Amino acid sequence: MTAIVLALLLAQDPRCTGDAVKLVPSAAQRATLFDLAGAARLLQAATRAGCPGGVVASAYVRGLLAAREAYRFGGSPESLAPVFESITLLKSASRGTNDRAAIAAFVLQAAAAAAQSERDELSLMIEHAVQLEGVLMSANEPGLPMVTAHEVAGDLWLQVHRYDDARRAYERARSRLGMTLRVTLGVARVASRLDATSTACRQYQQLVTLWKEQETDPPEISEARTFLSGPACKGASNAK
């Protein structure tokens, strides 16, 4: 919900007119439904249509997607080049050390570190980003657009197999944001990695219950359905 609230604020810029005004909120909705690639396309369209509020969000989401892809290649310099391009753009758009562009740059630096499995650098950058975002949220302002730093923190720790750190990050995100779809998925994944089967089954079931879309399931929802249909959850159900 935080992402959508911020998207609505961004779309209120007087330079964002006509059909373009719908693009940023639509992108936020796609991101909420795990479709970051779709969100990125909408944000780029918003930027081309003259909605300046989409620039920071677009660079941020493109950087997140590029960092995720770079992880598949061990965080090679070539694979990380798009991430650092986004970081440079965000830093140039920042008006200080604690606005959303600056916070997004810190998150992408953390994501780049995760792509290289540089856990110390990841910890330094993501904790700083979460702290700064927490200041915004404490002032009743929305956090980062599309995906909050609090949510990304759990995702990155999960990516580098630091499951206890991921669990703590998702718990912190839950305390700030509630059980968003992304947080629910993260909690389920961590529980499955830590062999907390009953928790994993419960959270995957919650995710499926919350899923209201009628479109084809994204990989995250297919993952949940597959886990729930497996012997682990059937055994947990029979044990009750």
Q: Quick one: pLDDT at residue 134?
A: 96
Cα separation of 32 and 154, whole Å?
16
- CA 185 – CA 205 distance, rounded (Å): 10
pLDDT at 12 over 60: no
Q: Is 137 helix (H, G, I), strand (E, B) or coil?
A: helix
Q: Is the pLDDT of residue 10 over 70?
A: no
90 vs 92: CA distance, rounded Å: 5
CB atoms within 10 A of CB 29: 17
- What integer pLDDT is reported at residue 236 of this predicted model? 57
Residue 1 has pLDDT above 80, yes or no: no
pLDDT of residue 235: 63
In single-letter form, the type of residue at position 160 comes to V
As a whole number, mean pLDDT of residues 182-187 equals: 97
The larger pLDDT score, comparing residue 175 to residue 51, is at 175
pLDDT value, residue 7 = 47
Tell me which residue of 220, 228, 142 sits closest to 181, measured CA to CA: 220
**Interatomic CA distance for residues 158 and 102, integer angstroms:** 24
**CA distances, 136 to each of 99, 140, 183, 203 (Å):** 9, 7, 19, 28
pLDDT of residue 186: 98
Q: Does position 18 have pLDDT exceeding 60, yes or no?
A: no
For residue 144, what are its two tokens?
């980062």
**HSE-up (13 A, CA, CB side) for residue 160:** 25
Model confidence band, residue 22 (pLDDT cutoffs 50, 70, 90): confident
Average pLDDT score over the chain: 89
Question: In this structure, what token pair is assigned to residue 68?
Answer: 């995720």
136-153: b (≥16 Cβ within 10 Å) or e: bbeeeebbbbbbbbbbbb
Give 178's contacts (C-beta < 8 A, 6+ positions apart): 1
Identify the band that residue 232 occupies on the pLDDT scale cut at 50, 70 and 90: confident
pLDDT band per the 50, 70, 90 thresholds, residue 49: confident
Mean pLDDT of 234-240: 55
Q: What is d(CA 26, CA 66) in angstroms, rounded to the nearest whole number?
A: 21
Predicted confidence (pLDDT) at residue 183 exceeds the cutoff of 50: yes
First-to-last C-alpha distance (Å) of the chain? 34
